[in-house]
Amino acid sequence: MPSLNESLLDERLAQLERARIWSPRVISKLEAFIRTADDYTLFRVDPIQYATEKGMDENEAIDLFLHAAKGNLFDLEWNLICACCGQVFISLRGMSNLHGHFICNVCRMENNSQLDDFIQVSFTIAPTIREIIFHTPYKLSAHEYFYRYRLARSVYKMPEHVAIDEFLERYVLALNYLEPGQAMSADVKMTPGLVYGGDLLHGTVFTFFASLSTDGIEPPSVHVKLGLPDIEVNEPQTHPQVIEVTAHRGQQRFELTHFAELPTGDSQWQIVNNLNERACVWIADLPSDILETWLEMPPFLSGKRLLTTQTFRNLYRSEVIDNNEGLGVRDLTFLFTDLKGSTAMYDKLGDLKAYHLVRQHFDALNQVIVKHSGAIVKTIGDAVMATFCTPLEGIQAGLEILGAIDEFNHGRTEQLILKIGVHTGNSIAVTLNERLDYFGQTVNIAARVQQQAQANEVYISQDVYSYPGVTDFLGQFTVTSAQVNVKGVSSMLQLYKITSQKSKAEQTMT
């Protein structure tokens, strides 16, 4: 039976239950999960997959684990995953040291990860609640360390669609711990393709490219000494090599520290551990078509999804990105709102009453934005900047906001009138004024799109309009189009105005 801190578990589950209103049995299911799941299942839990398994709403599952992490039931982790070999390059407890650029210390591929993919957010049970073997990786067997601790969860090698651990097990020829001063010998039959070896614990690696010999030359023996900061390859002679290849994900760059081209065939290998601590030695003979394969992950909690979750922004306000870093987002939707005639309203009502009214309208907008899986990034005076994972969510939120403001205005003397713009594209997540924000031309254009809108209008860009499912959704609305010049953009923008739900006809603006 697992060792549980019963009193602490009960206390923190009670706190979690009070955090918000949960759907029936959400907390009881989590308690059963903590009590009965095996160690590996409680390691790097993905809320999206958890929601699928438990029949939960995804947004509620994300909220559940965010509150659980804030209440010290789980530890929130940011995992940087190599897009080539599926290894977790590093796992971080916060965003301050998060960066998208790294050289994998297993396959040596240069990664430029974006928040959309290969930056995975997961949750591991806190050791104060229940200890699992993955809290102390040095106790794991070499097999568990490599295939369960180092490999990311639920990663598949394509196009075969085979789990990455199953795929690698076909080609890993040796995987052993080597104590200080120990040596290991291995008979390695090198086939055409890439042959890797090295020390997983210390991130040192050597790489051979094996090709068929036309003159019958046999491959040399391999003699390697493990050390720090690097290894020593005594035989064969190796050299640093940068290889650039065109693969499924585009141009890929490998910065190989110890490289040699060798003929295929049987080779005698000897690896000596010259460190004063244990090493984890691995040898892999990968197939010749390895660079024509790629990795895919089922839906998971990405960094992008987390940053567009209002609960994360509310609970983790101190989480920021290093001021010298910026994390790319390939596809993010921005919604800007603005109040029409707000200056006159402040003049008429006075600052205090007008401010109170604006704050109430912020609350109304927040409810709609959260409902559509978005998050408010910031308020700028009486304007709102919000983000969504998809354009369709942004449009749905924008149109529902107009309805929410109609209800808000009911019975009020002072009528609030909103103007809304939606645009989508790539951007950079940054830290501005000690909070998470976004930077780039997409953000600028989104603000300009909003400036084109008039009272009770939603304007969207061509990029939003052409997103899958948007035109079908807008079939019930009156949509008019025009090309306009906007400040800061050299070319004309194709914009679409959505004004009502009375006609399905598209017209041309005059």
Per DSSP, which regions of 52-103 are E strands?
A: 74-81, 88-92, 101-103
The yes-or-no verdict on residue 168 having pLDDT over 60 is yes
CA 425 to chain CA centroid, Å, is 16
Q: Decide: helix, strand or coil at residue 341.
A: coil
Q: Using CA atoms, how far apart are residues 176 and 494, in angstroms rounded to an integer?
A: 60
Name the CA radius of gyration of the chain, rounded. 27
Whether 192 and 262 have beta carbons less than 8 Å apart is answered as: no
C-alpha distances in Å from residue 276, one per residue of 46, 179, 181, 333, 409: 37, 8, 8, 52, 73
Per DSSP, which regions of 7-155 are E strands?
A: 74-81, 88-92, 101-103, 110-112, 119-125
Q: Using CA atoms, how far apart are residues 315 and 265, in angstroms rounded to an integer?
A: 58
CA 27 to chain CA centroid, Å, is 26
Query: Cα dihedral angle (255, 257, 262, 266), rounded to 10 degrees?
Result: -120
Write out the DSSP string of 423-462: EEEEEEEEEETTEEEEESHHHHHHHHHHHH--TTEEEEEH
> Which domains, from first to last, does the chain contain?
6-155 (no CATH), 162-295 (no CATH), 320-508 (3.30.70.1230)
The yes-or-no verdict on residue 16 having pLDDT over 50 is yes
Q: What is the pLDDT of residue 501?
A: 58
Give buried/exposed letters for 201-229 (b at 16+ CB in 10 A, else e). Answer: bbbbbbbbbbeeeeeeeebeebbbebbee
Tokens for 241?
Answer: 């090599």
Q: Decide: helix, strand or coil at residue 176.
A: strand
Looking at residue 150, the DSSP 8-state letter turns out to be I
Q: What is the pLDDT of residue 412?
A: 80
The band of 492, judged by pLDDT with boundaries at 50, 70 and 90, is confident
Picking from 338, 440, 346, the residue whose alpha carbon sits closest to that of residue 383 is: 338
The yes-or-no verdict on residue 425 having pLDDT over 50 is yes
Q: Is the dihedral of CA 404, 410, 414, 417 positive or negative?
A: positive
- pTM of the entire predicted model: 0.92
Q: What is the pLDDT of residues 235-274, one digit of tens each?
A: 999 999 999 988 777 789 999 999 999 999 999 999 999 9
Interacting residues of 7 by C-beta distance below 8 A, sequence separation 6+: none
Q: What is the pLDDT of residue 490?
A: 75
Q: Using CA atoms, how far apart are residues 421 and 314, in angstroms rounded to an integer?
A: 24
Q: What is the pLDDT of residues 120-131, one digit of tens each?
A: 999 999 999 999
Q: What is the pLDDT of residue 213?
A: 75
The yes-or-no verdict on residue 334 having pLDDT over 60 is yes
pLDDT greater at residue 476 or residue 216? 476
The band of 505, judged by pLDDT with boundaries at 50, 70 and 90, is very low
Segment 439-447 shows an average pLDDT of 95
Location of structure tokens 């990455």: 164
The band of 510, judged by pLDDT with boundaries at 50, 70 and 90, is very low
Q: What is the mean pLDDT of the chain?
A: 93
Q: What is the pLDDT of residues 380-406, one digit of tens each?
A: 988 999 999 999 999 999 999 999 998
Q: Decide: helix, strand or coil at residue 487.
A: coil
Interacting residues of 343 by C-beta distance below 8 A, sequence separation 6+: none
Interacting residues of 498 by C-beta distance below 8 A, sequence separation 6+: 395, 398, 399, 457, 458, 459, 460, 474, 477, 478, 479
